Structure 1
Amino acid sequence: MNDDPVDLDEHRGMAAQKATETRRQRLHDFHADQTALRQRQEELEKLLLAAPAETWPEAAAKAQYLIRIFAGTPEAQDPRRKALIDHALDDLNRLCERAKEDP
């Protein structure tokens, strides 16, 4: 009995080896992108926590961020909650635009 692992890539054709390598590279790129995204989110959250909002648009931006995070959860997939999320984001956008027009 041989305990050495078998290198399956040696038994595949060139096209299959290339497809496997492409999948491996895409998976690696995906993980790198996820890591970078988490780092950017952490940086953004540090900025959002650094100081209290001084204007309604700043407060709305923080609320929109949190609403969008909630929108990605399983609890937010209920059709009624989706509608509430959409309406809340629309309201915040509309009110921010109005605040910019009427300083």
Structure 2
Amino acid sequence: MTDLPFDLDKRRGMAAQKATDLRRALADVEASLREVRVRETDLENRMMTVPAASWPEAAVKARHLLNLYAASLPAEDTRHRALVAALFDDFARLSGES
């Protein structure tokens, strides 16, 4: 008996190795999504509790909300997607970003 770890990946067949790789990749993605959700919740809580001190700060909040709205739109709703894009262009133009 040895205290060295045994690499089971080398003992698996190709199909089993691919399945293991997929499970590991999925676990990594799920962990990343959980982290993003926690960070997004923290950001949104701060946005709700701290009032904007300027129009650019208010625009940051509006951009976040518009991104959430746009993500929920069906792909065929091109009119509202175009409206959101036009508003983002307005934000950029009025803030001197373009």
Would the alpha carbon gap of residues 44 and 77 (structure 1) be closer, same or farther in structure 2, given more than 3 Å must change?
farther
Would the alpha carbon gap of residues 77 and 56 (structure 1) be closer, same or farther in structure 2, given more than 3 Å must change?
farther
Query: Equivalents in 2 of 1:48, 1:14: separation in Å?
Result: 51
The one-letter code of the counterpart of 2:39 is R
Q: How many residues align?
A: 86
Q: Please give the secondary structure, in 2, of the residue aligned with 1:97.
A: coil
In the alignment, structure 2 segments of 5+ residues that lack a partner are: 1-11
Question: Cα offset for 1:83?
Answer: 0.5
Deviations 1:7-59 (A, max 9, x none): xxxxxx61111100011001111110110110010111112112211101001
Equivalent in the alignment of 1:35: 34
**1:59-78 matched pairs, under 5 angstroms:** 59-75=58-74, 77-78=76-77
The one-letter code of the counterpart of 2:92 is N
1:84 and 2:69 matched: no
Percent identical:
34
Q: Which has the higher helix share?
A: 1
**Counterpart contact for 1:53–1:59, Cα < 8 Å:** yes
Would the alpha carbon gap of residues 77 and 48 (structure 1) be closer, same or farther in structure 2, given more than 3 Å must change?
farther
Bigger RCO (CA 8 Å, 6+ sep): 1
Question: Cα offset for 1:80?
Answer: 0.6
In the alignment, structure 1 segments of 5+ residues that lack a partner are: 1-12, 99-103
Equivalent in the alignment of 2:24: 25
Q: Please give the secondary structure, in 2, of the residue aligned with 1:44.
A: helix
